[in-house]
Structure formats: structure tokens, C-alpha cells
Amino acid sequence: MWIEWVNHASFILESGNIRLLCDPWLEGTIFDNAWRLLSPTRMSYDEFSTITHIWFSHEHPDHFNPPNLKKIPEEHRRRITVLFHETRDKRVVKLCQSLGFKIQELPHLQKVEIAEGVTMLSGMQDLIDSWMSIQAEGKTLLNMNDCVFDRTSDMETIRKANGPVDLLLSQFSFANWIGNPDDLESHKKHVQRKRAEMARQIRLFTPAQFIPFASFVYFCHAENFYMNSSMHRIGDACEYTETELQIPTIVLYPKDRWQVGTAHDSSDAIRSYDLDYERILAAPPVTTDPVDITRLRAAATAMFTKCAANNNRAILNTFTPAVVRLSDLGFDVELSFRHGWSQVSGKQPDIIASSGSLLNCMITDWGGETLTVNGRFQAPTDGKPDRFFRIFKVLRHNSIGNPVNFRFLGNKIIEKAKVALAV
């Protein structure tokens, strides 16, 4: 079993005639012009001629990137089988089918033979995330990707389903807002939280070897660039896992090849990433122009109309309105399911964001979650950002076929009770 590194969360697993590509994001800015790849990708689109399967963990653009997929030559797409977990909305599957890929959906926690001698097992976490394992040549690779489980029992289920793990891959740095620019204590806590999650997974799964990944990015917008100074660098992550957790750790740079189970010197890869860190810190960040208020107001009207049609209005009207301070336009607006959009003054803002960030929240189903990931906002003193993000969670749930109604509320109550009992 061989690993060929592509970038970020993407690698090629090679076993026999299988060349399985995981989560390809090869180029471009994502999350509303907020993330870029730390290092240049060295895989070309012509090289998809050798790929037999592509697995996507979830729909976020650093894992599932339609603009990149469309650049794969059509004749290669027709040969490749896309592997994706079963979903109610079928959005990923339908898009891949429209591009000419073959499709194989993966049932939750059921082993599937994708080729002779190669077995895959996958499972869901939260609304869209998933993990997967591959068993081939007597070895088990477990890719936890972005999955973070609150309940140890859920991770125990994964451990029992897979048995001994030869190679674990998991995220090593934060991928979300970490606090205001001057809140350095919060920045440190996010790094410590990510270290604790790595430690938790390594201690539970007891892998023979570990690859830290899914964090080879940088925050490229002027509104989030400050977070780069606090990121958990790969060299620090490797030192922590090898010294503190006593786990052989493999660091791979784009185009590196490594045979699973063998020893590996990661020093060259770490040096290459260090050079990339210094390069991006010296690069000018992305800037974007303000959005006209007329366009913002129209987007808000369309969003509230859409929500009213797809959800229980009585429940939506119980949501507390949120006040947004538009940093580039110099005024505040209130968003309310009951009253819609209104310009206000003298009220405590819950969040500070640019007009472009607010627009993206209103016109895309995943805009609110995008903002939490890209970090292009600030939390004012005494503000309550959760009020803002709660409004946009409605769109997020609707996008995967979950209308906000009384059944939805009942399911939420049951989920909270399960978590409380597990703790």
C-alpha cells in the first residue's frame, strides 16, 4: 500500500490496480475568497488518467471542489468512480453524475468491496462530515479527516468496526475563526484544542503510524490574515505527536511517495512547508469591494421569503433578531424572521462583518457556516454572534432536506438528551 501526497487533505492511495484519490482540492481560493493552499499542488489534471476512484469526505470546497472537478478531462471523468456516503439530498452525487463520473454510494458503517482485495468502510459525523477506512494488503488506513466526535462512544464504534489501525490521518490545525485579532489567549486555546483532539484519537485508535493533514492552508483575506500568525504549524504538530504522544509521524509534501508501514524521514517536507509559511506571511492579502445596500436588501428579502416558504413560520418568529455592524459601510442592520431587514442605530451589534461577508451568508445555503470557517468577522464586546449564526443555520439545514418544524425540534431535544446521557 502506497501513499502519494497531493495537497491539504488530498492523497492517492495505491494498492494493486487501485489508485484512490481522496478529497482533491488542487487550486483556487475558497470559502468566499478566504482560504488558499499553503503549498503549490504538483498534480496536473492530465494525471487523472491514472485515477480509478475518488472519495469525497464532505461537501466543503477544500474537500469537494466543483470548479476543479470540471477541469478534469471528460475522457478521464468517464473512467473514474466517485465514492460518497448516502445522503437524502443527493447533491454531490447528482453533480458528479452530471459531470460524467460513475457513482458508488456508501452505506453508513457497512463494508464495501471497491475492488478485489480492497474494502472500504465509512460513517457519518454531524450533518455532512464523514470518515472512511481502507483495508488492503493486510493493512488498515483510517482517515478521520475533519470529524470531531463529542461522544467517546461514537469513536469506540469506529474503533471496533475497524480493528487494529496501521495508519491514522487526522486534522492538525484549526480551520475556523479563533477570536478577535487581539484575543491571543483564545488563539492559543484553539491550538491546544486541536492538539487535544489529535491526542484523543491517537490514544483511542492506537495506530502504528500517524499522518497530520487537512490543514495545509492559509487565511488569505485582509479580514482574516491575522490568524496565520497563530496557526499550528506542521513542524510543531509533528514534534508534539512524536515527543508527547510517542507516535511515529509521517509528514509528506506534494508529490512525495511513501509505502505504508515503512520508516520515513519527514525533515525535508517540514523544511519545505516552513519556507511556504514564510512566503505566505510576506504576501499581500486579498481585498474585496463593498456591496451596494440595495443589493444587500434585495438578498435579505429573498432569503427571508425562501425561509418562510420552507419552514414553520411560528418557530422562525421565535428566533431572536441579530444586529450586524457592516464594517465597510459604516452602519448597522437588524435581521429578523419576523420583520426582515431594517437599518438600525443605538442597538448593541452582535457581530461585525463586511458587506461582502453578509451577502455571501444570505445568498448561499452554507454562507453562515462559511463565515465561521473563514473567520471574516469580529465579535464586539457584549455582542452575541450566536444570534446571527442561528439565523443562517436554517438555510444550512434546509439545504440537506431538514425543514425547521416541530419534528425538527423534537429530534434536536432527543439529540441533546443522548449527549447528556453519554457524558
pLDDT (tens digit per residue) in 241-267: 999 999 999 999 999 999 999 999 999
In CATH, which of 3.10.450, 3.30.1050, 1.10.10, 1.10.238 is domain 293-410?
Answer: 3.30.1050
Cα distances from 333 to residues 158, 326, 342, 366, 415, in angstroms, run 45, 8, 6, 21, 34
Range 387-406 average pLDDT: 92
What number does CATH give the domain 2-281?
3.60.15.10
Is 70 exceeded by the pLDDT of residue 186?
yes
Helix, strand, coil percentages for the chain (3-state, nearest 5): 35, 25, 40
Check residue 423 and give its pLDDT.
Answer: 45
- Degrees, nearest 5: CA angle 114-215-175: 110
- Degrees, nearest 5: CA angle 347-310-85: 110
Q: What percent of the chain has pLDDT over 90?
A: 92
> Which residue reads 478485489 in cell numbers?
116
Read off the pLDDT of residues 65-79 as tens digits, 9 standing for 90 and up.
999 999 999 999 999
> Which residue reads 488569505 in cell numbers?
220
For the chain, state the CA radius of gyration. 22
DSSP readout, 159-180?
Answer: HHHH-S-SEEEEE-S--S----
- In sequence order, what are the beta bridge partners of 35? 30, 219
Is 80 exceeded by the pLDDT of residue 418?
no
Is 80 exceeded by the pLDDT of residue 411?
no
Among the listed residues 275, 213, 211, 200, the one whose alpha carbon sits nearest the alpha carbon of residue 245:
200
Is 90 exceeded by the pLDDT of residue 268?
yes
> Any idea where the domains of the chain sit in the sequence?
2-281, 293-410
